[in-house]
Structure 1
Amino acid sequence: MQQFDVVILGAGFGGSLTALLLDRIGLSVALVDRGTHPRFAIGESSTPAAGYLLQSLSAQYDLPQFEPFCKYGTWQQAHPDISCGIKRGFSYFAHTPHQPFQAQPSHGSELLVTANLSDTLADTHWYRADVDHWFVRQVEASNIVYRDQTAVTLQHNQPGWQIQGTRLGERVNLQANFLIDATGAAGIVARTLGITPETEFKTHSSAIFGHFRNVAPWQTILDGQGISQIDYPFNCDHSALHHVLSEGWMWQLRFNNGITSAGFVLDGVSDQQSWEALLERYPSIQQQFAEAECVAPEDGLRTTGRLQRGWKECAGSDWALLPHTAGFIDPLHSTGIAHTLCGIERLVTILEQHAGQGTLTGQLAAYSHSLQTERTLIDTLVACCYRSRHDFERFWLSTLFYFAAATSYEHLRFHEQQRPWLLCADDERFRQTVADWYELVSRDDLPVDYQTDWLQTARELLAPWDRVGLFEPAVPHMYYYTAAPEAEPR
């Protein structure tokens, strides 16, 4: 029997980083995982907020080895052996079924949003097999107890926990004053406690995805069709690339090891036949995958049921869920890594300042509420885009609600030194504004002549949070800079 202040279940990058931070503040920690590293994982697209949060945690808790991962340039200098991709921002291309991609006047079927000033300062796509493995090796190099290949059962002693399992034929028996669940969809703590699942979501999507080699760059397809890219603020493949489709959308994230993460996310339920059927419906995307080979997971493309999930309680007096365990909506806005880091920062601060005190339970209740509120806002922001995707001009306006949230968060965090909830989810007025836009784009009873008012309506709604001129790009749908910290935005 080993006794710990905190036991963490799940050794993805979130669980590993949390273990290292708690060790830094003087708590005894054990990290337990049922699998091994390296392993296939999805959820790879970072954002400016994620980079800034990781940098802040690295500095505050004296973990300088993590700082190079905050930007593409420093990553390449310090860890060229750890695969990643360059991400200058977000790109979107609207497709019509059974037709090659067609550029429209004033970039009416294209949208590129820059997040950073240069390749060196760019965000990254995390090749999770390498990154998660590196994170857990930092745990192994510390004085933290790490047990992989360990399936466990839990007993809640109220207070405290007993964690029992086996590893390579040997018994594992741990006791913890506090338990953190970083197991993602497995949600072992919530299931053990019988927490009620959250089932009410505005978004309803599913996915089919994998890692591929030999995916032709989208830039190559555009060149072959004679589509000019002279107005593009960056190479469109150096981004989180979104193909906007009648059925939903497709992501493409390129790593510097020749692998591309790609997946269709559909408004509804996917099935094993969806991949080939969707490629056949979109000939320009089909060209990209003409020579492609799925290389992970080992058993082929992975399909999901409904992606949206969550729990009605995310923390108690002696337990807490990390954000990806607390719930998930959809990968559309690349919120996963930033949300995990934001939640880790909040939870570690609570345990550092309130562990062993009468204030802990109240602080954990506030933590639970914050995760649920962030999840609801992300759900509404994503659902706005799904409701708008059949009209690309309206889709563009719906994305601006996300970009207004992201740039406002960055400004508050890094210019005003505040600690807002992710995407300003603690701003009740902003949440209501997004909800109002959602109700508007979801209506099917609007008169035809209302179409002319979409732009002005969005502009008026977002005016208090439009810090970067979202409605006034010099070139339509082409944003040459939006992020806050390195320099004042255009």
Structure 2
Amino acid sequence: MQYFDVVILGAGFGGSLTALLLDRIGLSVALIDRGKHPRFSIGESSTPAAGYLLQSLSQKYDLPQFQPFCKYGTWQQACPDIACGVKRGFSYFVHQPGLRFQTGAAHCSELLVTANLSETLADTHWYRADVDEFFAKEVQKSNVLYLDQTEILLQRTDVWKISGSRNDEGVSLQAAFLIDASGAASLVPRALGIRPQTEFATRSRAMYGHFRDVQLWGEVLEQSQVDRSDYPFACDLAALHHVLQEGWMWQLRFNNGITSAGFVLDERQDTLDWQQMLARYPAIEAQFAKATVVAPEAGLVTTGRLQRGWSESAGADWALLPHTAGFIDPLHSTGIAQTLCGIERLVSVLEQHWKKDSRRKPLANYSDSLMKERALIDRLVACCYRSRFDFELFTASTLFYFAAATSFEHQRGQEQKQPIFLCADDSEFVRTVDRWLQLVSEYEQQSPVAKTAIRQEVEQAERMLAPWNRVGLFQPEVPNMYYYTAAPEMEPR
């Protein structure tokens, strides 16, 4: 039986990166995964905070091979064979059932929010099949024991005992500390009987896959003679959101010809399938007229309710990475940045408190921080769902997320503070989001609402967010076109 300081379950990019960081601080580490790479995983988008965090971790722990992934330009120079996509920011377009896309004065159906100044400096869409495989291969070059295609059972005594099989051969390990990076599988909390969280403000489910030959949304707009001359960037070079009566659709384009796309639907409304959704929205249906599903092999994925979470995320000898601790919704592209933020905190705790009784309190703080982050993300997402009946109100709701994201970036980069993700430990900001959620929830029940009332509430939102509005939210020179919102480029410490 082999003994390790830490065993990590799950070899996505988060589990692999954590293994390499712990190896760098001198701990003995094993990384176990039930599958193998490359494998399908839905596309994800990075953000300025994600790029900063990855660069910071790469520098601090001497892992320069990951620094190119912080920006699109350096990624293409160093690793052009690893697929990704350009993400200049976020773009949103609201649709009405049965009608082709229409806009009007002041971009009343469009919202573009820029996150970076150029394509070279852009964030990226991660084609996870390639990215996760690269991270896992780096693990295999290190001192970390890497076991893929391994089925395991967990037993907890004075140490963790991990037994199972790999290629018909027995596996038997012991570990002083266990990290669960298995995502929804959540092996550790299930083994420990941790109570799941069941109350969420957001209620959504998804249908998604990877496609080829999805027409550019910009081409559809051109065919409809929609003026794009004052867009701050090409609308497809973004996390593209179609805002719908039933929920919304994401589109992320990779440079290998594949597009990640999915409908995320409000569970409070009637269930529709993929074809029914396309048929409801002619402009989106036109985008997919020639599209074919290329992954996963079994066809489109249809989920149940997306929201999940655990009441505890760490103990004296175990911890969950953020995506295992819980998940809300892909609306605000929070996954990569939150994972990196959690890894940074957890590795720091183990580095400073390994073999010390003092690690109990910082691990409890780590668990508490994940709960706070999840609660805030839940409310920020729910605000958008509850306000999508009116695009002006929906736009104001998205700015609560952008205020949180840019405040986090500013505090990390300019003030050299270390708030938890999205400043979820700022109690006044959390109360402000709660007040806005209550307001838009009330208006949703009253819909339709007079435009004069909507405008008054948007003005109130601007006043509410004033303490966290560092980048000119609510006052773009061109209506709904934000040419730059990220905090100044952050320099890692």
- TM-score, normalising length from structure 1? 0.98
> Is 2:20 the partner of 1:17?
no
**Unmatched segments (≥5 aa) in structure 2:** none
Counterparts of 2:93 and 2:195, CA distance in 1: 39
Counterparts of 1:386 and 1:284, CA distance in 2: 21
Relative to structure 1, the CA distance from residue 273 to residue 460 in structure 2 (aligned partners, 3 Å threshold; closer, same or farther) is closer
Counterparts of 1:180 and 1:73, CA distance in 2: 33
Equivalent runs, 1:1-400 vs 2, <5 Å: 1-157=1-157, 159-268=158-267, 274-400=273-399
Task: Provide, for residues 290-312 of structure 1, a one-character-per-residue CA deviation record: whole Å limited to 9, x for no partner.
Answer: 00000000000000000000000
Contact 1:214/1:258 (8 A) holds in 2 = yes
Counterpart AA for 2:196: P
Counterpart AA for 1:307: L
Contact 1:213/1:258 (8 A) holds in 2 = yes
CA RMSD of aligned residues (A): 1.4
Counterparts of 2:82 and 2:69, CA distance in 1: 10
Contact 2:43/2:252 (8 A) holds in 1 = no
Contact 2:308/2:326 (8 A) holds in 1 = yes
Contact 1:196/1:312 (8 A) holds in 2 = yes
Give the CA deviation at 1:271: 9.8
**Runs of 4+ displaced beyond 4 Å:** 269-273, 444-449
For residue 487 of structure 2, what is the aligned residue in structure 1? Answer: 484
Aligned-pair identity (%): 67
- TM-score, normalising length from structure 2? 0.97
Counterparts of 1:286 and 1:426, CA distance in 2: 42
Give the CA deviation at 1:414: 0.7
Q: How many aligned positions are there?
A: 487
Moved more, 260-269 or 396-405: 260-269
Contact 1:206/1:269 (8 A) holds in 2 = no
Give the CA deviation at 1:273: 5.8
> Is 2:453 the partner of 1:461?
no
Task: Provide, for residues 240-293 of structure 1, a one-character-per-residue CA deviation record: whole Å limited to 9, x for no partner.
Answer: 000000000000000000000000000017999610000000000000000000
Give the CA deviation at 1:395: 0.2
Contact 2:43/2:260 (8 A) holds in 1 = no
Task: Provide, for residues 443-466 of structure 1, a one-character-per-residue CA deviation record: whole Å limited to 9, x for no partner.
Answer: 147785633411221011000000
Moved more, 82-91 or 356-365: 356-365
**Unmatched segments (≥5 aa) in structure 1:** none
Contact 2:92/2:112 (8 A) holds in 1 = yes
Moved more, 477-486 or 264-273: 264-273
The secondary structure found in structure 1 opposite 2:401 is helix
The secondary structure found in structure 2 opposite 1:359 is helix
For residue 429 of structure 2, what is the aligned residue in structure 1? Answer: 430
Counterpart AA for 1:129: A
